[in-house]
A and B are shown apart, each in its own frame.
Chain A
Amino acid sequence: DVVMTQSPLSLPVTLGQPASISCRSSQSLVYSDGNTYLSWFQQRPGQSPRRLIYKVSNRDSGVPDRFSGSGSGTDFTLKLSRVEAEDVAVYYCMQGTHWPWTFGQGTKVEIK
């Protein structure tokens, strides 16, 4: 199975400051069709996960543009340009290139 490794696992941030979460896969996530099926999800306390980003860098409708995704191959990043209070959540990366799909361990973002 593809192992997804996120870092850091805990991220205390100051309101208005940027934040970055890394996600590394144990093998390339490039599929035979040339696409890379790497998604990012946000799970606020007590809520179901919500997708933010799909195929590495495509932002879902309604997701603030302060969220951005980047990367390629085995190395990916979710960036928040300016953290707001509503961004307190656990963030997960997920690969959908190889069966079984696998998630990272999650990164908990909290306000300092």
Chain B
Amino acid sequence: EVQLVESGGGLVQPGGSLRLSCAASGFTFSSYRMSWVRQSPGKGLEWVANIKQDGSEKYYVDSVKGRFTLSRDNAKNSLYLQMNSLRAEDTAVYYCARGDQKGTTDYWGQGTLVTVSS
């Protein structure tokens, strides 16, 4: 069974940092692109970043470029999102999602809440 379990969310002050993790199981992690998608409270979905299977290609939405860094450790079946210089508008539930094929995602985790507030 495919499982994606996010962790690392919490309350952080504006300008602070957090590192989100996503532990994957039930599939060959190294064979799949992975994404982070976020959802602000009561709002819609926003794709944040995507990483190729071997980590050689990364894509980010403009609003996080230069502040967020996506990485993965295929030996540990884990995906990470280092978030720096956090802003109030980064407050959201962050979902880890698996890309089973080009241009889409199939399985999503349960999400981890990031709250940026003083």
- A: residues with CB less than 8 A from B are 1, 31, 35, 37, 39, 41, 43, 48-51, 54-55, 60, 92, 94-97, 99-106
Neighbour of B104 across the interface among A39, A99, A100, A104, CB < 8 A:
A39
- Whether the Cβ atoms of A100 and B61 lie closer than 8 Å is yes
Number of interface residues of B (CB under 8 A): 22
Bound together, the chains give a CA A37 to CA B59 distance in angstroms of 17
- B: residues with CB less than 8 A from A are 35, 37, 44-47, 50, 59-62, 95, 101-106, 108-111
Name the residue in B47, B50, B110 with the highest tally of chain A Cβ atoms < 10 Å from its Cβ. B47
- Whether the Cβ atoms of A94 and B106 lie closer than 8 Å is no
Bound together, the chains give a CA A35 to CA B102 distance in angstroms of 10
Neighbour of B59 across the interface among A49, A55, A60, A99, CB < 8 A:
A99
- Whether the Cβ atoms of A48 and B44 lie closer than 8 Å is no
